[in-house]
Structure 1
C-alpha cells in the first residue's frame, strides 16, 4: 500500500476511536503507527527496559503540533532527525509520540530504554511525548484518548505494571514540559503522582 493509502487507513482508525463514549473503558489497544509506516531508519539502540515498567513520564516536544496523519508523519520524522543528527542519540528519544490526529506513533516502543528524562528516569520509565507545545493550549480530546488507550494497552500487554505511576516531565527534571495546559490535564489521570 502506498504511503497516502497507509495514512488514510490510520486516519480512519483514529476517527473510529472518536465514537467511543467518555465512560467506555479503554481496554482495547489503540492503533499504533509502526516505525516502518513513518519511515524510521533502523534503530541503533540496544539497551532494554526491565518489564513490566513501573513509571511513565509524559512530555511535549515543544515544537509544532500536527493534526493530520500526513503532518504528524513529517513531525515525527523531524523529531527523529533532531534527536539522531543534532543530539547524536541512537534513535528518537521517546518510546511513543502522540499526534493531534489521534494516533500514537511508535518511537523506541515498549521494550527499549529511551532518552527522554535523564539518566535516573530513562532506565525505569516509558516516555510518551505529545507532539506540539502545550503551554497555552491543550491537546485535543482525541490525542488525550490515544494516550490513555496506549497506557491501558501497555497494562493489558504486560508492558506496564498495573500499578504504574505517571508523572509529568517537570516532576522529574527542571523543565516546562509537558506544558502548563497538558500538565493540568495529566494531574487528573488515575495513575498520576507528584
Structure 2
C-alpha cells in the first residue's frame, strides 16, 4: 500500500509540474525528437531541452494565442534537422524584417519547396547549422517555421543573440508584399508578445538598418517604417 501511495504522489507531482503543457493537449519531451506541431518552452519540468510539443501540424498548434495566424511547422514543410542551435534568452526586444530575394510563392506546394531550397542553401552554401530566419512569410499569409521563437538564428549579423527575424519570401524592392502577408507578421509579433517570446516594448528594424544590405527591399522597407515600434535609432 505504501509503495502505491508513493507512486500516486509522484505521478501527481509530474502532472502538476507539466500541467502547463498537458492542459493544452501537449506532450513534454526532449526537443531533439520530432514534434508534429510546434515546440514551446517553459511548460515542462527538467532540462531546457525538455519542451512542450503542442500538436496539430499546420494550424495554430504550439502558438498559444496565435489563433489568427496559419503556421506551417518544420515537420509539415519537410525541414532537415539542424546540426546544432542555441537557445535565445527570452523575451527578445529586437524584431528584424527581411526578404529572401527569391521568387515569391503563393500556395502550400510551391512555398514548401521554396523554404526547403532556402534551408538547403543556408546549410550547404553558407555553412550554417540550419535555415537562418526565425520565420518565413508566404504571399498567401502562411507563416513557415524556421528556427522558431526559441532558437538563435543566423539572419542579422551582430544581433542574432538579441532578436528574431521574419523574412518575406520574395523580392520587394519595387512593390510591397500582399496585405495577407503583412497582416500575418503583425499578428505573429503580437502573438510573440502574448507568449512571452517578444518584449512588449520591442524595437522593429529592417535588415538594412543594422547591416550593409538593401534588404528588405525599398517598398517593404518603406512599409515597415509606418508600423508601430519601428525604430530610427540603431540598437
Normalization by structure 1: what TM-score? 0.84
Instruction: Tell me which moved more, 161-170 or 42-51.
Output: 42-51
| Mapped partners of 1:152, 1:87: distance in 2 | 31
* Partner residue in 2 for 1:6: none
| Mapped partners of 2:66, 2:155: distance in 1 | 27
* Partner residue in 1 for 2:218: 180
1:74-85 mapped onto 2 (5 Å cutoff): 74-85=113-124
Q: Does residue 159 of structure 2 align to residue 121 of structure 1?
A: yes
* Partner residue in 2 for 1:4: none
Instruction: Decide which of 189, 193, 205 is 1:167's aligned counterpart.
Output: 205
Secondary structure of 1:58's aligned partner: strand
Structure 1 runs (4+) greater than 6 angstroms displaced: none
* Partner residue in 2 for 1:130: 168
| Mapped partners of 1:66, 1:136: distance in 2 | 17
| Mapped partners of 1:51, 1:72: distance in 2 | 29
TM-superposed CA distance for 1:98, in Å, is 0.4
Identify, as 1 or 2, the structure richer in helix: 1
CA-to-aligned-CA distance 1:28-56 (integer Å, 9 cap, x gap): 45121100000001112321111000000
The alpha-carbon distance between structure 1 residues 27 and 128, as it changes in their structure 2 partners (threshold 3 A), is closer
Give unpaired runs (5+ residues) of structure 1.
1-8, 15-25
Q: Does residue 193 of structure 2 align to residue 155 of structure 1?
A: yes
Normalization by structure 2: what TM-score? 0.70
* Partner residue in 1 for 2:33: none
- The answer to whether the 8 A contact 2:70-2:141 is kept is no
Q: Does residue 102 of structure 2 align to residue 98 of structure 1?
A: no
Give the number of aligned pairs.
Answer: 172
Q: Does residue 127 of structure 2 align to residue 65 of structure 1?
A: no
- The answer to whether the 8 A contact 1:69-1:101 is kept is no
CA-to-aligned-CA distance 1:77-135 (integer Å, 9 cap, x gap): 111010011111000000000011210000000110000111x2111010110000000
| Mapped partners of 2:141, 2:186: distance in 1 | 11
Give unpaired runs (5+ residues) of structure 2.
1-56
Q: CA RMSD in A?
A: 1.8
